[in-house]
Structure formats: structure tokens, C-alpha cells
Amino acid sequence: MAARQTYPNTPDGRYFVVAGRLWRTSNPALAPQARQALVDRLMAARRQVGAARKAGDPEAERQARADVDEAKRALGERGPVWWTDGAPDFNRRMVANTPYAQWYAALLERSDR
């Protein structure tokens, strides 16, 4: 079995980085059981997207994608940010174009050694 891929989290815990792009993390204030229920809902919706695409059913795919979005919003990964300090949202932005650029460059430099 292959090892699970891990991605670096920004120092403030708001994002993780995949291929140089920031992705918002789930709200850490969610209770573990509530978070798991939402993750289960998200995974089920993603499976439904695949099934709808395979079946060639655009309406079912639209609904499944809406269910994915709803679960991601409930997790805090989309929609209004879950932090309260007024910091802007850099979700889906290239890390090099954000205030995290220097942190990420240093991280990459350390990993090259």
C-alpha cells in the first residue's frame, strides 16, 4: 500500500499547498464527529458526481456538484472564511502571489537540501 501524500500547511493553519496552490483547510473549530459526518457527506457527493458523469446524466451531475459545494461550505473550505481576524481569503491562489510566498519559498529551499 502506498504512503498517503501529505501537503504542507501554512503556519497559521488556514491553507494547505498542492502544486504551489493554496487550498483552504476545514474549520478547526468543528467537533470531530461533525467534521467526519461532513467529510462522509462530501465523499458520497463526489462519488455521485462520478456516477452521474459515467451515466451521462447532466441533471444528476449538477445536483451532485451542488451537494459537494454544500458539504465544502459546511466544512469551511468554501464560502465565508472561518477565521475572525479580518484576514483576506487566498483560497485557490498560487502561493507565490500571496503573503505566504516567502514562507513557501523557504520551505521548498529546505526540501531541496
Q: Per residue in 7-17, pLDDT tens?
A: 999 999 999 99
Nearest to 47 by CA among 72, 32, 23, 67: 67
Which backbone phi and psi does 91 adopt, to 5 degrees? -55, 135
Average pLDDT score, the chain: 94
* pLDDT over 60 (residue 26): yes
pTM (predicted TM-score) = 0.86
pLDDT of the residue at 109: 85
- Per residue in 73-109, pLDDT (tens digit) is 999 999 999 999 999 999 999 999 999 999 999 998 8
Question: What gap in Å lies between CA 92 and CA 58, rounded to an integer?
Answer: 26
46 burial type by CB count under 10 A (0-12 exposed, 13-18 middle, 19+ buried): middle
Residue 66, C-beta contacts closer than 8 angstroms, at least 6 positions apart? none
